[in-house]
């Protein structure tokens, strides 16, 4: 018929499936015909009616056929199933519609009608094909069949295994008719009967030929399938073809038998189809001339020729329509696709298709349907809209366009609004156990403070305390307090490193957190755990019989663990013994190198103690610095280093504290015992040396001693709010009886050590100037060489400054225990200030000691600054505290600038400093005396004394000082003072400006007489008078001042008497003029055992004053008792103790008999067998010169003494 494609619909049964397979194989291989298969579900054997459930699938396949571009259908069905197939297709309008042509096989040859003429209309226009299987012998066989079959009841082959799977036919349901005697409804011989008969005959013929040709007899197992196949193919050869019931039996190379086929056409009102065409391998398709053909649209064609295509043959194709239009199945016209559908091209043909579920089309003639938007869904086809009626409710979603149903949000998710395209995971801290939820429940409502991961399902297992919180029954998840490690979940927290946790109530999880000394003693772990060998609150104590070891542990005491403490005691005793011998060195003769070594050693010990203070701060040291800092423990009297706990049954904090407090008293007691032993052995140590050694130890170890006794007051607040000792965290402050005992012991220690030592040193330092200048206390000061000998004489106070600095350093860990963030800052500032002062004062007696002090202190500052980031402090507290601390130096910047400007303005415009006393003296007659008076006055008065050699840089300003900056003018009355032009100007300036004038008469010297006053202008040159005149001073003013001065009272100054009497005269003058007195001043006392003798031209008042000045200066710088020898008698009294003779050279010294007598008095000591007195000469007069040899010749003749003595002087 010329078709290129065909739809093949067949039911899933052996017969129909076999027909479909054979048809498609031949159609596609032999005729290039494209087949589109549709397998339909089988409802039962023998072509049972299509079930209701299978009808759905049948219609779905028919719809697919309808939407295709091919309208030629081959329906392979039998009996009732064939009727059901055609009926369903007709209901869909695809049987009797334009372009449709239905074909069938022998299954629609009439049995499908079941004799019902009403069914014929369904099949009108349908063609079916069947083989023409009746040969020349068929009629005779059929006649015999008709005769024998009705009388056959039980065929003889019912017991033969001829049915499928080796079963006896009698038991097969397909052969039940043979058992009952009913074999065929019509009892006629059908075409298939002939084919079956011929098949058996053909097998017999082939077997017979094989046996005859091979000669093996009836043994059919001898033959292979290939033998059978080849013999079967030979049937088409000449001489082998034979005729049987179904006609000529022959096979081609494919073992197929080319039977002729007949085509029948179902026509209205007839239970029998009409033969309209045939086919054979020889002639092909042949139309039956004269026959009438009825087509599906009930139109007819009359066959006038056997070849070609009759008129009216359906095209097998739908009409060609535009997209959006489709062919009407009942006509050939194209019409727009209605709303709810869309046009589409299916295999080249435009058809209308209902919008699928999840899509809609509101317009007709549309090419596509619009998917329902996300958040909407529909399971209906052919929608014209997808609006509010199809929106997904709260708790449901449709994620993609075109959804057919809204999916419920799974557990762990929620959709709070209708029309959601997605369900959000429950946020962290929420959960949802149900599906289809609109919101998530909070973990907070289930367990206060708890949280969950995103998308939580089960609150019981997933609402857990987060990291940083722990579960407390009845309170929920509480914030992790300081000292705990809260890993989250429902379990107990762990204790953090450096903290110890006491479990008060395990059920309620009541915990009390204490700070430990360090993280090694209290490692991280389960609550209440301690390092190995430790016990007690905050792991404070070693277990009984244990000692403190490394890494925070306590090890068991073994036999050899007693040795370190014993060795330490022996070492201390050895150090004391060695130190006593070293301390006996005469420090007067001690060289600067030894002094530097001693000073540097003291500095080093102080630095190590300062590092010990750093060790007490809240610093988490890292290796190797940690090990080095720990080495300072011994200097802070940490006896754990020597395993002292092995000596006691139970090492308690009170015992440990008392041990440390008694270290120094024990050492002092041993020192005293050793001193007694040396006295017994006739090698006594001077008591002053013993005292000095003790003072050195106390001052050098002052930081450690202070830090030790202050430890009970170093209380820190624990996370539980309880205050405990920083050094003994197992002791609760102020409530624990142990702490009260420690405080009581500490109060005694504070009075003895920091307060006692500090008051003692400060008092001694305050008395130093007066003791030195008076000479009275020099014997006492030998005991304090540890305090003063290391520093320059003018910096005698530096030892007290260092002590105060060390006190501040030791107080830091206690005073700032609650402010760890600024501990290092204050320490650095303290050390910086002391370093600046030290650099400014440069106090040490040697340059090396000064440099080492700067370097060592700078090293400690560097260590402190480097350790600052290691401070263990709360971040928020640290930021707040440091912010305030940083503000202070920032504010200091403008304040310093303002201060500098204010000082500049004051220096420029402010009132100058005022002198309490102005010394008016004649330089040649009382220059040395003026110096002497100044030294004595400054010892007893705080008023400044003007002495021109010390103060004046420009003589032109000296009168201005008298006028504007002087309260009292002290005139040293000597014969030449009123004749000196500068003195006259000073007196006139004071007289004219009402400055008080006091007269100090030297040895009763009187003022000028009126006669000399009247002619005073003759004393000075014109140049000198002009100098006075330039200052506004006339001769008349001089005369008036001199006359008025004669009426003033005077104080007698005995220049040749003892220093005690001279000091008394000066104090009398000071008392008269009411200048401010200095406290703690001492009067001069003559040394009992002077070590240094000073002499000169003592018969000259000025030379004697020079020697006295020398005495005070030498005594202050050497700290050695010094005396001025005025006569041979005084010299002899000091020979036993004196080691040096200082001779002040001045003009006329060598002609002075007193000096000669004094020198001769020292001759026995000088030339004797004992240690000689070392003579030191000092040039006290710029005009002094040693005389020529004629002086010595004359001296030898006069008999003043031995020439050898003078040669020694030279």
Asked if residues 522 and 531 have their Cβ atoms less than 8 Å apart, the reply is yes
Q: What is the C-alpha separation between 475 and 559, in angstroms, rounded?
A: 53
Task: Name the band, by pLDDT with cuts 50, 70 and 90, for residue 692.
Answer: confident
Neighbours of 1114 (CB within 10 A): 18
Mean pLDDT of 607-629: 75
pLDDT tens-place string over residues 1018-1031: 888 888 888 888 88
The CA-CA-CA angle for residues 1060, 1065, 1070, to 5°, reads 120
Domain boundary among 209, 240, 257: 257
One DSSP character per residue, 949-966 reads: HHH-S-GGGHHHHHHHHB
CA 506 to each of CA 113, 501, 512, 613: distance values in angstroms, whole numbers, following the listed order: 91, 12, 11, 39
Output the six-digit token pair for 1061: 């009497």
Are residues 138 and 121 both part of a single domain? no
pLDDT tens-place string over residues 627-669: 677 666 666 677 777 888 888 777 788 888 888 888 888 888 8
Asked if residues 318 and 349 have their Cβ atoms less than 8 Å apart, the reply is yes
Output the six-digit token pair for 635: 């200097």
Task: Name the band, by pLDDT with cuts 50, 70 and 90, for residue 495.
Answer: very high
For residue 299, what pLDDT is reported? Answer: 87
Determine what percent of the chain is predicted with pLDDT higher than 70: 86
Separation of first and last alpha carbons in the chain: 163
Are residues 1017 and 1116 both part of a single domain? no
For residue 154, what pLDDT is reported? Answer: 52
For residue 185, what pLDDT is reported? Answer: 44
In eight-state DSSP terms, residue 1078 is: P
Are residues 570 and 681 both part of a single domain? yes
Are residues 604 and 657 both part of a single domain? yes
Are residues 250 and 269 both part of a single domain? no
Are residues 126 and 140 both part of a single domain? no
Q: What is the C-alpha separation between 324 and 59, in angstroms, rounded?
A: 24
Closest C-alpha to 716, from 495, 882, 513: 513
For residue 975, what pLDDT is reported? Answer: 86
Are residues 306 and 342 both part of a single domain? no
What is the number of residues in the chain?
A: 1210
Residue 537, in any domain of the structure:
no
Give the domain range for residue 1062.
911-1073
State the alpha helices, DSSP H only, in 279-348. Answer: none
More confident residue, 879 or 738: 738
For residue 544, what pLDDT is reported? Answer: 87
Mean pLDDT of 577-587: 65
For residue 169, what pLDDT is reported? Answer: 55
pLDDT tens-place string over residues 734-765: 999 999 999 999 999 999 999 999 999 998 88
Task: Name the band, by pLDDT with cuts 50, 70 and 90, for residue 168.
Answer: low
In this structure, what CATH number is given to the domain that contains residue 1033? 3.40.50.10140
What pTM value is reported for the model? 0.57
Task: Name the band, by pLDDT with cuts 50, 70 and 90, for residue 1201.
Answer: very low
Are residues 1129 and 1044 both part of a single domain? no
Are residues 140 and 224 both part of a single domain? yes
Is pLDDT above 80 for 478? yes
Is pLDDT above 80 for 433? yes
Residue 509, in any domain of the structure:
no
Q: Which of 266-275, 293-302, 1034-1043, 1135-1144 has the lowest mean pLDDT?
A: 1135-1144
| Bridge partners, 513 (sequence order) | 501
Asked if residues 1070 and 1025 have their Cβ atoms less than 8 Å apart, the reply is no
Residue 338, in any domain of the structure:
yes
Residue 956, in any domain of the structure:
yes
In this structure, what CATH number is given to the domain that contains residue 337? 2.10.50.10
Q: Which of 21-25, 289-293, 819-823 has the lowest mean pLDDT?
A: 819-823
Mean pLDDT of 376-389: 90
Mean pLDDT of 474-502: 90
Task: Name the band, by pLDDT with cuts 50, 70 and 90, for residue 989.
Answer: very high
Are residues 125 and 139 both part of a single domain? no
Residue 514, in any domain of the structure:
no
Residue 1059, in any domain of the structure:
yes
Mean pLDDT of 760-783: 75
Q: What is the C-alpha separation between 279 and 286, in angstroms, rounded?
A: 6
Are residues 227 and 283 both part of a single domain? no
Residue 765, in any domain of the structure:
yes
Residue 894, in any domain of the structure:
no
Are residues 1165 and 1018 both part of a single domain? no
Output the six-digit token pair for 647: 């000596």
Domain boundary among 1073, 1102, 1134: 1073
The alpha carbon torsion through 641, 643, 648, 649 (nearest 10 deg) reads: 120
Domain boundary among 853, 872, 891: 872
Is pLDDT above 80 for 708? yes
pLDDT tens-place string over residues 522-553: 999 999 999 999 999 999 988 888 888 888 89
CA 1090 to each of CA 769, 1114, 1136, 1178: distance values in angstroms, whole numbers, following the listed order: 18, 12, 9, 19
Q: Which of 36-50, 527-541, 1179-1193 has the lowest mean pLDDT?
A: 1179-1193
Q: What is the 3-state secondary structure of 598-644?
A: HHHHHHHHHHHHHHHHHHHCCECCCCCHHHHHHHHHHHHCCHHHHCH
Domain count, the chain: 6
- Average pLDDT of the chain to the nearest whole number: 82
Q: What is the C-alpha separation between 613 and 629, in angstroms, rounded?
A: 10
Q: Buried (b) or exposed (e) across 954-988, using 16+ Cβ within 10 A?
A: eeeebbebbbebbebbbbbbbeebbebbbbbbbbb
Task: Name the band, by pLDDT with cuts 50, 70 and 90, for residue 578.
Answer: confident
> Peptide bond before 624: cis, by omega within 30 degrees of 0?
yes
């Amino acid at each position: 018929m010329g078709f290129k494609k065909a739809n093949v619909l067949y039911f899933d049964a052996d017969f129909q499936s076999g027909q479909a397979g054979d048809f498609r194989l031949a159609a596609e291989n032999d005729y290039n015909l494209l087949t589109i298969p549709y397998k339909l579900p089988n409802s039962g054997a023998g072509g049972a009616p299509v079930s209701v459930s299978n009808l759905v699938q049948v219609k779905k396949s028919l719809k697919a056929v309808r939407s295709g571009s091919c309208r030629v259908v081959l329906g392979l069905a039998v009996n009732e199933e064939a009727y059901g197939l055609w009926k369903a297709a007709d209901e869909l309008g695809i049987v009797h519609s334009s372009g449709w042509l239905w074909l069938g096989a022998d299954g629609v040859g009439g049995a499908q009608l079941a004799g019902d003429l009403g069914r014929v209309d369904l099949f009108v226009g349908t063609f079916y094909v069947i083989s023409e299987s009746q040969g020349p012998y068929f009629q005779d066989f059929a006649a015999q069949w008709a005769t024998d079959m009705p009388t056959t009841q039980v065929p003889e082959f019912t017991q033969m295994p001829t049915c499928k799977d080796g079963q006896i036919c009698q038991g097969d349901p397909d052969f039940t008719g043979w058992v009952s005697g009913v074999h065929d409804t019509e009892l006629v011989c059908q075409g298939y009967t002939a084919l079956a008969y011929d098949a058996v005959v053909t097998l017999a013929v082939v077997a017979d030929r094989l046996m005859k040709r091979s000669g093996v007899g009836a043994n059919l197992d001898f033959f292979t399938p290939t033998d059978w196949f080849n013999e079967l193919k030979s049937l088409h050869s000449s001489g082998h073809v034979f005729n049987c019931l179904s006609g000529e039996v022959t096979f081609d190379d494919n073992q197929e038998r080319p039977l002729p086929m007949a085509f029948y056409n179902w026509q209205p009102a007839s239970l029998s189809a009409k033969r309209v065409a045939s086919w054979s391998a020889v002639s092909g398709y042949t139309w039956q001339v004269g026959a009438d053909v009825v087509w599906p649209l009930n139109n007819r064609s009359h066959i006038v020729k056997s070849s070609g295509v009759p008129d009216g043959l359906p095209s097998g194709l739908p009409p060609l329509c535009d997209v959006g239009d489709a062919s009407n199945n009942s006509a050939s016209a194209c019409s727009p696709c209605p709303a709810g559908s869309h046009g589409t091209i299916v295999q080249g043909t435009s058809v209308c298709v209902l919008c699928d579920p999840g899509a809609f089309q509101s317009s007709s003639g549309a090419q596509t349907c619009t998917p329902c938007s996300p958040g909407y869904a529909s399971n209906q086809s052919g929608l014209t809209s997808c609006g509010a009626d199809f929106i997904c409710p709260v708790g449901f979603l449709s994620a993609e366009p075109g959804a057919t149903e809204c999916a419920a949000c799974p557990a762990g998710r929620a959709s709070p609004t209708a029309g959601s395209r997605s369900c959000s995971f429950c946020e962290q801290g929420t959960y949802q156990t149900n599906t289809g939820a609109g919101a998530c429940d909070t973990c907070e409502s289930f367990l206060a403070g708890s949280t969950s991961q995103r998308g939580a399902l089960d609150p019981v297992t997933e609402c857990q305390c987060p990291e940083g919180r722990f579960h407390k029954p009845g309170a929920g998840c509480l914030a992790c307090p300081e000292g705990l490690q809260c890993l989250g979940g429902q379990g107990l927290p762990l204790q953090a490193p450096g903290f110890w946790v006491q479990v008060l109530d395990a059920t309620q999880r009541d915990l009390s957190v204490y700070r430990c000394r360090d993280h090694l003693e209290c490692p991280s772990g389960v609550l209440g755990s301690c390092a190995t060998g430790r016990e007690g609150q905050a792991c404070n104590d070693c277990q009984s019989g244990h000692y403190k070891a490394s890494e925070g542990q306590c090890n068991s005491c073994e036999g050899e663990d007693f040795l370190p403490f014993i060795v330490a005691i022996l070492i201390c005793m050895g150090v004391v013994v060695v130190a006593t011998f070293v301390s006996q060195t005469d420090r007067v003769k001690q060289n600067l190198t030894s002094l530097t070594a001693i000073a540097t050693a003291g500095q080093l010990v102080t630095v190590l103690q300062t590092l010990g203070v750093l060790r007490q701060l809240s610093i988490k040291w890292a290796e190797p610095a940690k090990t080095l800092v720990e080495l300072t423990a011994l200097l802070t009297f940490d006896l754990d280093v020597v395993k002292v706990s092995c000596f006691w049954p139970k090492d308690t904090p009170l015992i440990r504290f008392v041990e440390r407090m008694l270290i120094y008293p024990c050492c002092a007691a041993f020192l005293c015992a050793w001193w007694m032993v040396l006295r017994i052995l006739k090698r006594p140590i001077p008591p002053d040396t013993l005292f000095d050694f003790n003072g050195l130890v106390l001052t050098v170890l002052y930081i450690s001693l202070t830090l030790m006794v202050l430890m009970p007051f170093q209380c820190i607040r624990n996370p539980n709010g309880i205050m405990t000792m920083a050094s003994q965290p197992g002791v609760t402050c102020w409530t624990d009886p142990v702490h009260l005992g420690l405080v009581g012991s500490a109060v005694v220690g504070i009075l003895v050590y920091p307060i006692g030592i500090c008051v003692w040193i400060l008092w001694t330092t305050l008395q130093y100037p007066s003791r030195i200048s008076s000479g009275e206390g020099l014997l006492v000061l030998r005991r304090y060489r540890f305090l003063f000998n290391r520093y320059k004489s003018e910096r005698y106070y530096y030892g007290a400054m260092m002590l105060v600095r060390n006190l501040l350093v030791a107080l830091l860990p206690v005073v700032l225990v609650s402010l760890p963030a600024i501990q290092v800052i204050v320490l650095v500032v303290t050390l910086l200030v002391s370093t600046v002062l030290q650099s400014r004062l440069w106090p040490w007696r040697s340059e090396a000691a000064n440099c080492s002090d700067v370097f060592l202190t700078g090293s400690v500052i560097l260590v402190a600054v480097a350790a600052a980031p290691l401070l263990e402090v709360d971040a928020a507290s640290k930021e707040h505290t440091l912010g305030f601390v940083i503000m202070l130096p920032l504010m200091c910047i403008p304040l310093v600038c303002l201060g500098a400007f204010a000082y500049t303005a004051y220096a420029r415009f402010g009132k100058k400093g005022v002198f309490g006393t102005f010394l008016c003296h004649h330089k040649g007659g009382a220059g040395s005396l003026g110096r002497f008076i100044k030294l004595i006055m400054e010892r007893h008065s705080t008023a400044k004394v003007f002495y021109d050699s010390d103060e004046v840089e420009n003589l032109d300003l000296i009168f201005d000082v008298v006028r504007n900056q002087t309260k009292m003018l002290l005139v040293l009355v000597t014969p030449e003072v009123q004749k000196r032009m500068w003195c006259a100007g000073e007196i006139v300036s004071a007289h004219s400006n009402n400055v008080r004038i006091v007269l100090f008469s030297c040895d009763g010297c009187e003022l000028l007489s009126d006669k000399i006053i009247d002619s005073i202008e003759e004393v000075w040159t014109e140049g000198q008078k002009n100098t006075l005149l330039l200052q506004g001073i006339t001769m008349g003013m001089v005369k008036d001042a001199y006359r008025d001065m004669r009426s003033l009272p005077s104080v007698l100054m005995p220049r040749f008497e003892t220093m005690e009497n001279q000091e008394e005269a000066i104090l009398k003058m000071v008392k008269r003029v009411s200048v401010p007195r200095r406290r703690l001043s001492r009067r001069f006392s003559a040394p009992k055992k002077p070590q240094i003798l000073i002499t000169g031209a003592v018969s000259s008042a000025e030379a004697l004053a020079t020697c006295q000045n020398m005495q005070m200066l030498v005594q202050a710088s050497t700290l050695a008792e010094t005396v001025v020898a005025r006569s041979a008698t005084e010299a002899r009294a000091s020979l036993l103790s004196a080691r040096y003779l200082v001779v002040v050279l001045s003009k006329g010294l060598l002609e002075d008999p007193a000096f000669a007598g004094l020198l001769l008095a020292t001759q026995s000591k000088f030339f004797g067998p004992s240690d000689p007195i070392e003579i030191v000469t000092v040039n006290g007069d710029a005009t002094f010169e040693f005389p020529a040899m004629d002086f010595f010749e004359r001296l030898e003749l006069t008999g003043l003494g031995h020439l050898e003595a003078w040669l020694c002087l030279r």
